Structure 1
Amino acid sequence: MNRKKNLISGLVIVLTLLLGACQSKKDYARTIHDPVLFSKTVKKLNDVVLENNFAPMVASRNYAYATIAAYEIVVAGDPANYQSLYQQIKHMPKMPAPEDTSRIDFPLAAMLAFTKVGNAVTFPEGSLMDYYGQLLNIADSVGMPAEKISGSIAYSDTVVATILGWAKKDNYAETRSATRYTVNEEPGRYVPTPPMYAQAVEPHWMEIRPFVLDSAAVCRAIIPPNFEPNNKNSAFYKAMMEVKLIGDSLTEEQKHIADFWDDNPFKMNVTGHVMFATKKFSPPGHWMNIVGIAAQKAGADFNTTVTGYAKTAIALFDGFISCWEGKYMYNYIRPETVINQLVDPEWRPYIQTPPFPSFPSGHATVSAAAAETMGSVFGENLAFTDTSLLEFGIANREIKSFRDAAAEAAMSRLYGGIHFRFDNDLGSESGKRVGELIVKKLTMKKN
């Protein structure tokens, strides 16, 4: 009888230990493999980009390399379901293969790689390394074995080194010392706008190496209307007056749309003789935030969430290269400039005109590109509440689909008074082609 009791007690102890071990394993996986933690990790990079005034197109580069690093680690951990971008992005090198997968927690490695790449492509130096340490502390505190943590660090570092070596060859460094924009005095050409009259931003961005586009000109926006401000029957004159008339009679809803999608990373406010800057997400930062919201609404797992971020970041990056090729080729005048010259010298747009040519609209272009890629990952008709601007005191918007969000972002530029309607419409068409090309060319999820 005692022997039977001892046997039962022994079995109970063994089962308890096994259940405890399973529970411990489940506990750390529940925390580290939570896609919300990856979204929080992306938000940390977003905050660094915001605080340090990265221009929108530069921000898109920051997000792109960091998310690709994370995605390639997802592929290494789940090769049956995910496909590397190697040989899909022609110039991308092959990522190092893990030597011992049993020693790697791939979600942790993906977040570590994202953070280290994000840290390397932003400034000031070390901005994200405190958060890198926090990720390691979280993994340790929820019971991840030390050998898995060290193995994850080691593997992520090999991917980081490969990604950063690749990034150095995209012509970004060379464009930092390229010639500045020279104002063209011909009628209809862009000139700096109030209140900063700043130099036009990134006039050589079209020289950056794209990921999927064969060249910056592949999806160029169709030619804008001829500059005919004195011909009341011309497409240009009608578009110019539409900007002024809408700007002079904005509804509260139109103001909300303009404010919500303003996404000006560095707005200069002028009150009398006092000038001060305020910051918001740039357009790519806003769309990165939307990816996290959409992933959670769709109930996406960790790997799908990372895929959504990477695919969208690629679309934003290539979208800006495509758009900037058109901007500096057409070098089109801003509505504010021509309205001040010919209609009302005191007129000002509702939101601040950004410092680069008008056609095509950058926000319209990259938003349309992002909408196509996000739809391919999370579903075209996913409705969600965009809470991105709450931290800046701007109320949420209810969004019916990614394409509706892109269309609203484009229209916001007309309501804001900083773009002609044709800037937005033709920019949206161009961006949609960029997004469609990325969806067609890149196979990320195999099934």
Structure 2
Amino acid sequence: MKKFACLILLASFLFSCKEKDYTKFTNDPLLYCKTVKKLNDVVLYNNFSPVVASRNYAYANIAAYECMVAGDSTYQTLSGQIRHLPAMPKPLAGEKIDYHLASLLAFVKVGNAVTFPEGVLIEYYDDLKQKARNAGMPKEVLNNTVAFSDTIAATVMKWSKKDNYAQTRSSEKFTVTQEDGRWIPTPPAYSQAMEPHWCDIRTLILDSAAQFMPPAPPVYNMKDTNSAYCREVMEVKRTVDNLTDEQKHIADFFDDNPFNLHVTGHVMYATKKFSPPGHWMNIVGIAAEKSKADFDKTVAAYTETSIALFDGFIACWKSKFKTNTIRPETVINKYIDPAWQPYIQTPPFPSYISGHSVISAASAEVMSHHFGDNFAYTDSSELEFGIPNRSFKSFREASIEAGWSRMYGGIHFRSDLEQGTIVGKNIGEYIVRKLHLTRNEDQLSYNSTK
């Protein structure tokens, strides 16, 4: 009898050790950062446009967040805060669930469903479950966790399909006109306008795509060399013609072109980088690691930033395709120098306002809310593309530099950047005011010393 009792005690001891080991595995916030990076890599290698990428990140993070919320009473569901987001499924009373693993699995499952080709993240999904088994997670807990994660992922996916994305796949193509001052395709690919109907995508927090519309851009006027428009054109040309090494580094660092086409004679090839939302997702991970944010705070920061990126692009695209303004390259080639080229490649959509400026300013406001107004950090995101790091005193400083990188690159006018920054800041501030992720929002505020 004593021998039997000892065996029971030994089994209990081994089981408790395994559960302790498993807790350490699932509590690691860097694992969530790694998981977001997995999706980021899929987005990169499959050439998703920046706006579509923002959709991938938003829905995947929201699914992860809703799993996390179910296990942490200090956080609040987004249902009702995102007015059209339905109530989320609740776990059954008494069920043992690892909510951090559920968050990871839901992120991967939703990310896998909204990317192409579907299924590319399944191996990573299976690896996460195997890690749980190897760490000693009881089969019942793993089954409960997977089942709960699946219900959240399915609810988010069903909701996501009502955002008009599918309808925009079959919308009429954008009509290019030769009217003075209007956008036309640019070298070297002369691609058609990218996602001209993106402003029809359902917003998450904004009331509509037009909620923060900028004023009209400067009136197109190349006949008067003293006109505000002509002065902006000449500023772009002078800037690119006299770039310093520092300005080139800034332009390269924030280029974030997911498909940069190179043409040499009859040879064409493309190089890839993160898109702008992918870059900002990386920055969230850098900030979370430096601040030593726990798993739940890390998920919250990623989620709110991805929402800012998503709504920011929708609002920006409303302005772009309403004003339909020409790019600097086209104007300079036509009126000043036919052989002139920008430092970086002009993307295939209208100029006003700058997408980089909008989404960077929006992200900076949200991230300042989570990590502090003067959170200094070094951005190492571009090292994998051979571009040296840059350091910043704050997220807002980085967002301003991201905007000006487009002037240094020769692809945007001053007004594009300045008005884009204003719109983005307004969007970020609005999202911070509207969303209350914790029951006490102060718990999410970090100061720069943390």
TM range (shorter): over 0.9
Do the aligned partners of 1:265 and 1:280 also contact (CA within 8 Å) in 2?
Answer: yes
Q: Deviations over 1:316-337 (max 9, x none)?
A: 0000000000000000110000
Q: Distance in 2 between matches of 1:186 and 1:418?
A: 20
Alignment match of 1:187 (pick from 132, 157, 180): 180
- Corresponding residue SS for 1:107: helix
Q: Which residue of 2 aligns with 1:430?
A: 423
Instruction: Tell me, yes or no, if structure 1 residue 45 matches structure 2 residue 39.
Output: yes
Where do residues 195-214 of structure 1 align in structure 2 (5 Å cutoff)?
195-214=188-207
Instruction: Tell me, yes or no, if structure 1 residue 76 matches structure 2 residue 81.
Output: no
- Corresponding residue SS for 1:103: coil
Q: 1:299 to 1:15 in 2, by over 3 A?
A: farther
Do the aligned partners of 2:174 and 2:193 also contact (CA within 8 Å) in 1?
Answer: yes
Instruction: Tell me, yes or no, if structure 1 residue 270 matches structure 2 residue 263.
Output: yes
Instruction: Tell me, yes or no, if structure 1 residue 395 matches structure 2 residue 380.
Output: no
Q: Distance in 1 between matches of 2:182 and 2:125?
A: 46
Structure 1 position 102, deviation (Å): 4.0
Do the aligned partners of 2:15 and 2:136 also contact (CA within 8 Å) in 1?
Answer: no
Q: Distance in 2 between matches of 1:93 and 1:101?
A: 24
Q: Which residue of 1 aligns with 2:366?
A: 373
Q: Which residue of 2 aligns with 1:4?
A: none
- Corresponding residue SS for 1:243: helix
- Corresponding residue SS for 1:276: strand
Instruction: Tell me, yes or no, if structure 1 residue 245 matches structure 2 residue 243.
Output: no
Alignment match of 2:251 (pick from 258, 266, 270): 258
CA RMSD of aligned residues (A): 1.7
- Corresponding residue SS for 1:111: helix
Q: Deviations over 1:72-122 (max 9, x none)?
A: 1111111x2001111111111000001145421000000000000001101
Q: Distance in 2 between matches of 1:284 and 1:296?
A: 19
Instruction: Tell me, yes or no, if structure 1 residue 113 matches structure 2 residue 111.
Output: no
Q: Deviations over 1:298-354 (max 9, x none)?
A: 110000000001100000000000000000000011000000001100000000000
Q: Deviations over 1:216-262 (max 9, x none)?
A: 00011222111112212111111111110110111111001000000
Paired residue type of 1:383: A
Q: Which runs of 5+ in 2 are unaligned?
A: 441-450
Structure 1 position 31, deviation (Å): 1.5
Q: Which residue of 2 aligns with 1:152?
A: 145
Q: Distance in 1 between matches of 2:139 and 2:93?
A: 15
- Corresponding residue SS for 2:69: helix
Do the aligned partners of 2:61 and 2:107 also contact (CA within 8 Å) in 1?
Answer: yes
Give the TM-score taking structure 1 as reference length: 0.95
Structure 1 position 375, deviation (Å): 1.1
Q: Which residue of 1 aligns with 2:18?
A: 24
Do the aligned partners of 2:205 and 2:311 also contact (CA within 8 Å) in 1?
Answer: yes
Instruction: Tell me, yes or no, if structure 1 residue 280 matches structure 2 residue 284.
Output: no
Q: Distance in 1 between matches of 2:24 and 2:355?
A: 39
Comparing 329-338 and 234-243, the one that deviates more: 234-243
Report how many residues are paired: 439
Comparing 137-146 and 33-42, the one that deviates more: 137-146
Structure 1 position 184, deviation (Å): 2.0
Where do residues 262-411 of structure 1 align in structure 2 (5 Å cutoff)?
262-411=255-404
- Corresponding residue SS for 1:269: strand
Q: Distance in 1 between matches of 2:137 and 2:4?
A: 27
- Corresponding residue SS for 1:385: strand
Q: Which residue of 2 aligns with 1:135?
A: 128
Alignment match of 2:50 (pick from 50, 56, 69): 56
Paired residue type of 1:92: L
- Corresponding residue SS for 2:106: helix
Q: Distance in 2 between matches of 1:101 and 1:267?
A: 53
Structure 1 position 177, deviation (Å): 0.3
Q: 1:23 to 1:380 in 2, by over 3 A?
A: farther
Identical aligned pairs, as a percentage?
59
Structure 1 position 271, deviation (Å): 1.4
Paired residue type of 1:30: K
Structure 1 position 17, deviation (Å): 7.0
Q: Distance in 2 between matches of 1:153 and 1:208?
A: 31
Q: Distance in 1 between matches of 2:135 and 2:352?
A: 51
Give the TM-score taking structure 2 as reference length: 0.95
Structure 1 position 15, deviation (Å): 8.7
Structure 1 position 23, deviation (Å): 3.7
Q: Deviations over 1:362-417 (max 9, x none)?
A: 01101111111111112221111111111111111112111111111001000000
Q: Distance in 2 between matches of 1:372 and 1:69?
A: 23
Do the aligned partners of 2:18 and 2:136 also contact (CA within 8 Å) in 1?
Answer: yes
